[in-house]
Amino acid sequence: MKNNNKRSFAGNQTEMRDKKGFFNSVASGSGTILRPLHDLLHRSSEEAAATPKSKILNNYYIPNYILVSGSEVQRSSLIPSCPVLVFINSKSGGQLGGKLLLTYRSLLNENQVIDLGEKAPDKVLHQLYVTLEKFKAAGDVFASEIEKRLRLIVAGGDGTASWLLGVVSDLKLPHSPPVATVPLGTGNNIPFSFGWGKKNPNTDQQAVLSFLEQVKNAKEMQIDSWHILMRMKAPKEGSFDPIAPLELPHSLHAFHRVSQKDKLNVEGHHTFRGGFWNYFSMGMDAQVSYAFHSERKLHPEKFQNQLVNQSTYLKLAGTQGWFLAPLLHPSSRNIAQMAKVKIMKKQGQWEELHIPR
């Protein structure tokens, strides 16, 4: 998924920059993601079934003194080969997110398994690395090895995965922990692109143990982030604040409005900058996505499984006129009439993206 979506749209004038751009304050430019080794998938399942559970879990366990500030130090001579920290969006996948949360907590130290509805990943990871640095400075070899071998698991949709990737990027660590993605959303494009599939997972202990084994054997890959500059004409009268910060999706990484003193600011315009990992859209696609998000927020009980979610998405696309756009919408509403999109493929070289009528 390298510079994956060059057809993304935004704003009255949108400029997209890849990791070579000047957005050094936004993100480091790429993240590390895990891809399963498919020739080992079947073997991982068999090994998980044949190996005693306690022996398996020793590979992934992190003690409380690393995870919970102020806990009693209990050093172990056995260093886990693949210590993991698991982030689960318990609201994803209908009821599956909550079930998956319970299963992981029944197998691992429950402080290793974070419900994203209760704790934000930036606070969790910041505290973890502060603790690791403290023990490393005191000569704790176990803490040092945990930091070197740590892998993250995120269970949720593409937005949740992008959220965690952005948080890890913001930490600017010398060695960022790689991320494995559990497909627990509706589309699951990030997990699918990196070999974890699109189908929502089973939530029983055996399925989770098999997944942990796949994470342990997975190889690391780089995933690029995009940087975006969005510039919109300011109205001549009245105030203009099109984006309420609290409503911004987490997948829009470090997105904010530039100050009037910023060299990127242009008089008579409002300029925003930020980053994203997977895709960024404007227009009918974004309209349908937002309608789906709003409906799910109002009536979560209606979104109980992946198939229902996908059919609801399709219905919303139909009611928005996605399939008959030329007939149902005037040409003045076409993206080509509302926005210009430019992409920097090479440093300093902008190419305007042709948007069909």
pLDDT the model gives residue 177: 96
> How much is the average pLDDT of 153-168?
91
Mean pLDDT, range 222-231, rounded to an integer: 83
> What CA–CA distance (Å, rounded) separates 215 from 195?
12
Residue 233 has pLDDT above 60, yes or no: yes
Rounded percentage of the chain residues whose pLDDT exceeds 70: 77
Burial track 7-45 (b if 16+ CB lie within 10 A, e otherwise): ebbbbebbbbbbbebebeebbbbbbbbbbbeeeeeeebb
Tokens of 212: 């942990």
Average pLDDT score, the chain: 79
Q: List b or e across 104-129, with b for residues whose CB sees 16 or more CB atoms inside 10 angstroms.
A: bbebbbebbbbbbeeeebbebbeebe
Could you tell me the two tokens for 149? 């071998």
Give the per-residue pLDDT at 272: 83
Of residues 269 and 239, the one with the higher pLDDT is 269
Contact partners, residue 315, CB within 8 Å, separation at least 6: none
User: Could you tell me the two tokens for 266?
Assistant: 């242009």
- Residues 80 and 196: their CA atoms lie apart, in Å, by 23
Q: Residue 257, exposed/middle/buried by CB under 10 A (0-12, 13-18, 19+)?
A: middle
Would you state the pLDDT for residue 241? Answer: 55
**pLDDT of 84:** 97
pLDDT digits (tens, 9 = 90+) for 187-197: 888 999 999 99
The single-letter code of the amino acid at 180 is A
> Which three-class secondary structure state does DSSP give residue 119?
coil
Q: Are 178 and 94 in contact (CB under 8 A)?
A: no
pLDDT > 50? residue 344 = yes
pLDDT of the residue at 156:
92
* 1-42 confidence digits (pLDDT tens): 223 333 222 333 444 443 333 333 333 356 889 999 865 555
Question: What mean pLDDT do residues 321-327 have?
Answer: 62
Per-residue confidence (pLDDT) for residue 146, from 0 to 100: 95
Looking at residue 18, what is its pLDDT? Answer: 37
Q: Are 280 and 316 contacting, i.e. CB atoms less than 8 angstroms apart?
A: no
pLDDT at 112: 97
pTM value is 0.78
Name the residue with tokens 């751009």: 21
Residue 6 has a pLDDT of 30
Rounded Cα gap, residues 95 and 115, in angstroms = 14
CATH for the 49-217 domain, from 3.40.50, 1.10.3110, 3.30.460, 2.60.40 = 3.40.50
Question: Within the chain, which residue ranges are assigned CATH 3.40.50?
Answer: 49-217
Radius of gyration of the chain (CA): 22
Which position has the higher pLDDT, 113 or 7?
113
Over residues 245-269, mean pLDDT: 73
Of 5-9, 205-209, 316-320, 325-329, least confident by mean pLDDT is 5-9
Who wins on pLDDT, 252 or 273?
Answer: 273
Q: For the ranges 8-12, 72-76, 96-100, 153-157, which has the lowest average pLDDT?
A: 8-12
- Contacts with 3 (C-beta within 8 Å, 6 or more apart), sequence order: 18, 224, 226
Q: How far apart (Å, rounded) are the C-alpha atoms in residues 36 and 161?
A: 16
> What average pLDDT does this structure show over 96-108?
93
C-beta separation of 233 from 254 below 8 A = no
Average pLDDT of 166-178? 88
Instruction: Look up residue 281 and give its DSSP letter.
Output: -
Q: What is the DSSP string of 215-269?
A: HHHPEEEEEE-EEEEEEEEPPSSS------GGGS-TTSEEEEEPPTTSTT--TTE
* Amino acid residing at 325: A
Looking at the chain, the whole-number percentage of residues with pLDDT higher than 90 is 34
pLDDT of 322 > 70? The answer is no
pLDDT tens digits, 49-82: 555 666 778 899 999 999 998 888 877 778 999 9
Q: Are 249 and 294 in contact (CB under 8 A)?
A: no
The residue-averaged pLDDT of 127-147 equals 94
Q: What are phi and psi of 49, to 5 degrees?
A: -75, -30
Q: How confident is the model at residue 318 (pLDDT cuts 50, 70, 90)?
A: confident
What lies within 8 Å, CB to CB, of 92 at 6+ separation is 155, 156, 157, 160, 184, 185
Q: Which residues pair with 156 in a beta bridge?
A: 183
Question: What's the pLDDT at 38?
Answer: 67
Instruction: Give the 3-state secondary structure of residue 153.
Output: strand
Determine the Cα–Cα distance for residues 221 and 237; give it in Å rounded to an integer. Answer: 49
Q: What is the pLDDT, as a whole number, of residue 326? A: 62
- pLDDT for 99 equals 92
Residue 160 DSSP one-character state: H
Nearest alpha carbon to residue 201 among 126, 315, 56, 306: 306
Mean pLDDT of 212-227: 90
Please give the average per-residue pLDDT across 123-141, as a whole number. 94
